[in-house]
Amino acid sequence: MKKISPKIRQKLKIVPNQILQSSILELSNQEIESVVKEELEKNPVLEELSTSTSFSKENYDSLFQSQDEYDSFFSNIPQEDEAEDFLIKQINESILSESEKNIAKEILFNLDRKGFLEIEIELLADNLNISIETLELVRNFIKENLNPRGIACLDLKEYLLFQIGDENYLSVQIIYNYFEDFLKQNFNFIQSKTNSNPERFLEAIELIKSKDLQPLKDSIVKHEIIIPDILIQLNKDYHWVVVENDKIMQKYKISSDYLNAATLNKLSKNEFSFVSKNIDKAKLIFDSIQYRFFILKIITEQILIIQDLYLRGDQKYPSPMKMEDIALSLDIDISTVSRAIKNKYFDSPIGIISFKDLFGSGIIKNTEIVSVEVLKDDLIFIINNEDKSNPYNDAELKDKLDKKGYDISRRTIVKYRQLLDIKNANERRI
C-alpha cells in the first residue's frame, strides 16, 4: 500500500480546520453558543462554568469593574433577523455559478426588514466591482426564483409591478405612471388620465389592492435577540479601546480532569484515544472562535482609522469605505471581511451600529471623497432655498452643485432627487 507523505497528510488535516473557521467566522454570538452547546452534549471533555467563575476581570480593568457591569453592558437588545439563512440556503441550492452566488449573497446581505434592497444599485455594483448589468441579472434571478418571490425589489412600486406582471395592463399603467397619485388615492384624476371606463378602472384598482406590500412577511421574519459582538470605547486619554464580547469563551472550557489524565498517562490506550479525539474537537472549535474574535477585532481597528470622527460623534455621516479597503489594509481576502461583519453589531459612543452600515461608496467634492449623504444634504439645502415661483430645473441644480465642488452628471442629480422623493421643477413651482 502506498504511504501518504507527511506533507499531504498535513494538508488533508488543515482542510477541515479551514472549513470550520470559515463557517464560525460568519456566525452571530447566539449561533456560536448553539454550536458550543451542541458540542457540550456530545463531548464529555467540555464543561460549562458558572457565571461567578467565568468572568475574567483582568482583561477589562479599564472598562468593567465587576461582573454586573460586564453583564449590564452586553445585555440583550431586541432586533429583527433578516431571514438571511432561509434565503441563502436557496441561493446555495440554485443553478447560479459560484461567482453569481457570491453576488446574490451580497444582495441578500443588503436587504431591509421588508425584503427591499436598501442600497443603491450603483453603489452595490461599485462595492462588488462588477457591472450594473451583471448585478441586475443576479437580482432579477433572486426576484423571480427565490421564495418568497419579489425579494430584492428596489421599492414598493417595483414590487407591485412584479406581482401584477401581465395580469392587467391598466393596473400596470396606473402603478407605472401614476404611483404617487395611487398612494394618495386620487382615483378620479387617474381615471381621467387613463381614459378608462369605471368598471375596468375599479377592477384594476382592486387588483392592485389585493397585492402584498412587502416581500418578507411576519411568518418568515424571525424575532431574536441581538447582542453586540464588539465594544468600542474611548479611554481616559481619548484613544479607542476595542473589546470583544467573549462571554461564550468564558462560559465553557475543556475539563482539567480529562487534560490531566491524558497528560499523566492515566488512561488505557482506548481511553486515551477517545479523550484525545474529543479534546482535539473542542480545541478546534475554541480555536475557530478565537480566530473569529481576532479577525473581527482587527477589522474593527481598521474601521476606527477611517470612521474615527463619525464614531466620536464629530461627523454627521460615515466616511466612504469599501470592504476592499479593509481587506487591502489587512492583506486578507474580501470574502473574509464580508463573512466577518455579516449580521454583526458593535456598541459605540453613538449607539449600537451594524458593521455593514459603515460601508458605502462616496462622491468627489472639492477633490475629496465624501459620503453620498453629504451630496443629498447639499441638494436639499439648494432646493429648500430656491425661489418657489421659479424653482431650479435639474440642469440648474447641476450647476449649483458644480459650484460646491461636485463633478457629477445631470442624470445623477435626477437619480438622487428622486431618491429623496423631491418633485421636478414644474411640480415644485408655486
Residues 296 and 27 sit within 8 Å (Cβ to Cβ): no
Residue 214 lies in a domain: no
388 CB-near residues (< 8 Å, 6+ apart): 428, 429, 430
Q: Are residues 377 and 394 located together in one domain of the fold?
A: yes
Q: Are residues 280 and 372 located together in one domain of the fold?
A: no
Which band of pLDDT confidence, cut at 50, 70 and 90, is reported for residue 196? confident
Residue 238 lies in a domain: no
d(CA 161, CA 328): 41
Residues 347 and 226 sit within 8 Å (Cβ to Cβ): no
> Has residue 71 got a pLDDT over 60?
no
Cα Rg, the chain, nearest whole Å:
27
Using omega within 30 degrees of 0 as the cis cutoff, is the peptide bond preceding 148 cis? yes
Give the pLDDT score at 304: 94
Count of domains observed in the chain: 4
Q: Are residues 274 and 351 located together in one domain of the fold?
A: yes
pLDDT in tens, 19-32: 778 888 888 777 88
Instruction: Report the CATH number that the domain containing residue 128 is assigned in CATH.
Output: 1.10.10
- Among 326, 356, 386, which residue terminates a domain? 356
Exposure string (b/e) for 152-181, b if CB count within 10 Å is 16 or more?
bbeebebbbbbbbeeebebbbebbeebbee
Instruction: Give the rounded percent of residues in the chain with a pLDDT score beyond 90.
Output: 15
Which band of pLDDT confidence, cut at 50, 70 and 90, is reported for residue 82? very low
> Has residue 424 got a pLDDT over 50?
yes
Q: Are residues 165 and 194 located together in one domain of the fold?
A: yes
What is the enclosing helix (H) or strand (E) of 347? strand 345-348
Which band of pLDDT confidence, cut at 50, 70 and 90, is reported for residue 9? very low
- Whole-number average pLDDT of the chain: 79
Backbone angles phi, psi at 371, to 5 degrees: -65, 150
Which band of pLDDT confidence, cut at 50, 70 and 90, is reported for residue 305? very high
Task: Return the half-sphere exposure (C-beta side, CA atoms, 13 A cut-off) of residue 424.
Answer: 8
Which band of pLDDT confidence, cut at 50, 70 and 90, is reported for residue 221? very low
- Among 118, 145, 172, which residue terminates a domain? 145
Q: Residues 178-193: what's their mean pLDDT?
A: 88
Residue 124 lies in a domain: yes
Q: Residues 168-183: what's their mean pLDDT?
A: 90
pLDDT in tens, 384-409: 888 888 999 988 898 888 888 887 77
d(CA 347, CA 191): 52
Considering only CA atoms, which of 322, 336, 406 is closest in space to residue 365?
A: 406
Give the pLDDT score at 66: 54
d(CA 339, CA 204): 45
d(CA 20, CA 380): 49
> By three-state DSSP, how is residue 351 classified?
strand
d(CA 161, CA 177): 11
47 CB-near residues (< 8 Å, 6+ apart): 40, 252, 253, 254, 255
Residues 257 and 278 sit within 8 Å (Cβ to Cβ): no
Most confident range (mean pLDDT) of 14-18, 63-67, 294-298 is: 294-298
Q: Are residues 267 and 325 located together in one domain of the fold?
A: yes
d(CA 231, CA 240): 10
pLDDT in tens, 320-369: 888 888 999 999 888 888 888 887 888 888 877 888 888 876 777 887 77
Which ranges of 26-111 would DSSP assign to H, the alpha helix? 29-42, 51-54, 67-73, 84-92, 98-109
- Among 356, 373, 407, which residue terminates a domain? 356
Q: Are residues 368 and 329 located together in one domain of the fold?
A: no
Q: Residues 173-198: what's their mean pLDDT?
A: 89
Residue 348 lies in a domain: yes
Q: Residues 11-19: what's their mean pLDDT?
A: 53
Q: Which domain holds residue 348?
A: 6-50+58-75+225-233+244-356
Give the pLDDT score at 174: 92
Q: Are residues 229 and 325 located together in one domain of the fold?
A: yes
d(CA 343, CA 345): 7
Q: Are residues 138 and 161 located together in one domain of the fold?
A: no
Residue 36 lies in a domain: yes
Q: Are residues 303 and 350 located together in one domain of the fold?
A: yes
Q: Are residues 292 and 367 located together in one domain of the fold?
A: no
Residue 321 lies in a domain: yes
Residue 217 lies in a domain: no
Residues 379 and 416 sit within 8 Å (Cβ to Cβ): yes
Q: Are residues 109 and 189 located together in one domain of the fold?
A: no
Calculate the CA 117 to chain-centre distance.
Answer: 11
Q: Please report, as a single letter, which amino acid is at residue 294.
A: F
Which band of pLDDT confidence, cut at 50, 70 and 90, is reported for residue 135? very high
Considering only CA atoms, which of 361, 408, 372, 310 is closest in space to residue 124?
A: 361
Q: Residues 222-240: what's their mean pLDDT?
A: 74
Which band of pLDDT confidence, cut at 50, 70 and 90, is reported for residue 279? confident
d(CA 410, CA 187): 33
